[in-house]
C-alpha cells in the first residue's frame, strides 16, 4: 500500500456508472476503453439502466420502460468476445439480474432471474430508439425441480468460467428460495450456446388488456430484431444499426423478452442445500490423471465455505469449512496461479490453499476424500497436491 496512488487526480461524474446507494445492485465492464454499466441512474433509484459511456463509441442506454427493466436488481456481467476467430460474430455483453414481472399469473408479481445481452457494434437507431440499444434482449433464467415444485427464482451471484474458446463459456448461477420456513439454495450451470440459441428464437408480447406476457405469433420483421450487425446484414445492405428499418426498431422496443427460457445444462440444479449460498467461484484444471476437473467454492450466509468437485453426472461435496464466525461470506476471489482462495466478510479477509493434501497422512484418507487437487504417491507415501507436483 506504500505505492498506492491515484492514476488521475481529477474526478469523474459517477452518474450512470454506479448507483447513488452502494447497497443497490450494480455491475460493470470496461472493454476497449468503454464502460458498460448496469445500474440505477437517479437518486431515488427509480431509473434502472444499462449504459455505455466513457469511450469513443456512441453513448447509449436502455429504455426507461418496465417492458425492458422492471425494478431489477443487477447481479453480474460478462464480456463474450464473439468476434475472435469468427467472420460473423459481434462482441456481446451479457448481464444477469432479477426483476419482478407478471408472466404466467395475471394477479401475482413474482421475482424471476434474467439474462440479457447487448452488442458492442450497436450504435443506436436512426429515428426509433435514438441513443438507445437496438440489440437489447432478455430471457428467463430457469433453475428448478418441477417434480418437487422447487423453483429457484432469486438470483444472488454468477460466476463466469472461460473455456478454451469463447464458444465454451460456462456460467454458474447461485439461487435462493424459501420452502415454508426453510431456506434452500441451488447452483445451476449454463452454457453460452444455450443462451445464444434462446436469443435467436421466438419472442413474447405484452398484452395490456390482461397485463401479462404471451408468445408472439405474427410474422417477425427481417432482419431479426435485436440481432447483432454481422456479415449477413452487410450483405443485405445493413452496415450498422442506424440503417435498420423503423418497423424493426419498433418491434424490438415492444418485444425485448424472448419466449423460450434458458435451461440449465443438467436440466435441473447441479447442487442443492438447505442453507443460504451467497457467492461462488470455480477453478478448472487438469488433474494427475490428465482429466479436466472443475471445483466449486461456495460461500454461505453464516460464514461457511463449501468445496465441491463436478463429477458428471453428479457433484461431490468434498468439505465444509467455517471461515467466519456468524459473518456472511461477502466475496470470494480465486488466484489459480498462486493456488489460493481469498474469502472476505464485512470485517475479515481469509487466505486459503486450494488443496489440503498435507492433512491426509494415509492413502485411504487421501483417496476417499475425492479431492481432485490431491493424489496419493506410491513412491513417496505422501498425499501430493497439484501445486507441489513437478510432473
The predicted structure's pLDDT at residue 197: 94
Phi, psi (5° rounding) for residue 363?
-60, -45
Q: Give the integer Cα–Cα distance in Å for 38 and 55.
A: 16
Q: Is 6 domain-assigned?
A: no
- pTM value is 0.90
- How many helices and strands, by DSSP H and E, does the chain display? 4, 25
Torsion of CA 191, 193, 196, 202, to 10 degrees: -100
Q: Is 326 domain-assigned?
A: no
Q: Give the integer Cα–Cα distance in Å for 214 and 203.
A: 9
The predicted structure's pLDDT at residue 118: 92
> How many domains in the chain?
1
The predicted structure's pLDDT at residue 138: 96
Q: Is 230 domain-assigned?
A: yes
The predicted structure's pLDDT at residue 295: 95
The C-alpha angle 75, 267, 102, rounded to 5 degrees, equals 55
Q: Give the integer Cα–Cα distance in Å for 38 and 25.
A: 9
Q: Give the integer Cα–Cα distance in Å for 365 and 43.
A: 56
Instruction: Annotate 196-250 with DSSP letters as a single string.
Output: HHHHTS-BEEEETTTTEEEE--SPPPSSPTT----HHHHHTT-SSGGGS-HHHHH
Q: Is 219 domain-assigned?
A: yes
Q: Is 345 domain-assigned?
A: no
Max Cα distance, the chain (Å)? 75
CATH code of the domain covering residue 138? 2.130.10.10
Query: For 166-179, b where at least 16 C-beta lie within 10 A, e where not — what string?
Result: bbebbbbbbbbbee
Q: Is 188 domain-assigned?
A: yes
Q: Which domain holds residue 98?
A: 27-274
Identify whether the C-beta of residue 115 lies closer than 8 Å to the C-beta of residue 98: no
Q: What is the pLDDT along the chain (391 residues), one digit of tens a residue?
A: 467 677 766 777 788 888 888 889 999 998 888 899 999 988 888 899 999 887 766 677 787 888 999 999 999 999 988 777 666 666 778 899 999 886 655 555 688 999 999 988 888 888 889 889 999 999 999 999 989 999 999 999 999 998 888 888 999 999 999 888 889 999 999 999 999 999 999 999 998 888 888 999 999 998 889 988 776 555 656 667 777 889 999 999 999 999 999 999 989 999 999 999 999 999 998 888 888 899 999 999 999 999 999 988 889 999 999 999 989 999 999 998 888 999 999 999 999 999 888 888 899 888 888 888 888 989 899 998 876 554 4
The predicted structure's pLDDT at residue 391: 41
The predicted structure's pLDDT at residue 194: 95
Q: Is 162 domain-assigned?
A: yes
Q: Is 371 domain-assigned?
A: no
Amino acid at each position: 500500500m506504500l505505492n498506492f496512488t491515484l492514476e488521475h487526480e481529477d474526478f469523474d461524474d459517477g452518474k450512470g456508472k454506479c448507483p447513488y446507494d452502494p447497497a443497490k445492485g450494480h455491475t460493470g465492464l470496461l472493454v476497449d476503453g468503454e464502460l458498460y454499466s448496469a445500474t440505477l441512474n437517479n437518486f431515488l433509484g427509480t431509473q434502472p439502466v444499462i449504459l455505455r459511456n466513457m469511450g469513443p463509441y456512441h453513448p447509449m442506454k436502455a429504455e426507461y420502460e418496465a417492458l425492458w427493466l422492471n425494478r431489477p436488481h443487477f447481479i453480474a456481467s460478462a464480456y463474450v468476445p464473439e468476434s475472435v476467430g469468427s467472420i460473423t460474430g459481434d462482441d456481446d455483453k451479457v448481464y444477469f439480474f432479477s426483476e419482478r414481472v407478471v408472466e404466467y399469473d395475471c394477479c401475482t408479481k413474482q421475482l424471476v432471474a434474467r439474462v440479457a445481452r447487448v452488442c458492442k457494434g450497436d450504435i443506436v437507431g436512426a429515428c426509433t430508439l435514438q441513443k438507445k440499444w437496438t440489440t437489447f434482449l432478455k430471457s428467463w433464467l430457469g433453475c428448478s425441480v418441477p417434480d418437487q415444485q422447487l423453483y429457484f427464482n432469486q438470483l444472488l451471484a454468477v460466476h463466469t468460467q472461460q473455456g478454451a474458446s469463447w464458444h465454451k463459456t460456462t456460467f454458474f448461477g447461485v439461487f435462493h428460495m424459501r420452502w415454508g420456513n426453510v431456506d434452500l439454495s441451488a447452483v445451476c450451470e449454463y452454457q453460452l450456446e444455450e443462451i445464444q440459441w434462446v436469443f435467436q428464437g421466438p419472442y413474447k408480447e405484452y398484452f395490456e388488456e390482461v397485463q401479462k406476457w404471451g408468445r408472439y405469433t405474427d410474422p417477425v420483421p427481417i432482419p431479426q430484431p435485436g440481432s447483432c450487425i454481422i456479415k449477413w446484414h452487410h450483405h443485405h445492405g445493413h452496415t450498422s444499426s442506424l440503417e435498420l428499418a423503423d418497423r424493426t426498431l419498433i418491434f424490438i422496443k415492444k418485444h425485448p423478452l424472448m419466449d423460450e427460457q434458458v435451461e440449465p445444462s443438467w436440466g435441473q440444479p447441479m447442487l442443492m442445500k438447505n442453507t443460504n449460498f451467497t457467492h461462488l467461484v470455480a477453478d478448472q484444471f487438469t488433474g494427475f490423471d490428465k482429466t479436466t476437473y472443475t471445483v466449486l467454492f461456495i460461500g454461505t450466509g453464516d460464514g461457511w465455505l463449501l468445496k465441491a468437485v463436478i463429477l458428471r453426472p453428479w457433484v461431490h461435496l468434498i468439505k465444509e469449512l467455517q471461515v467466519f464466525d456468524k459473518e456472511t461470506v461477502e466475496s470470494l476471489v480465486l488466484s489459480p496461479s498462486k493456488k489460493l482462495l481469498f474469502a472476505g466478510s464485512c470485517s475479515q479477509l481469509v487466505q486459503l490453499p486450494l488443496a489440503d493434501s498435507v492433512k491426509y497422512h494415509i492413502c485411504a484418507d487421501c483417496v476417499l476424500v475425492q479431492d481432485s487437487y490431491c493424489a496419493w504417491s506410491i513412491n513417496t507415501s505422501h498425499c501430493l497436491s497439484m501445486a507441489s507436483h513437478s510432473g
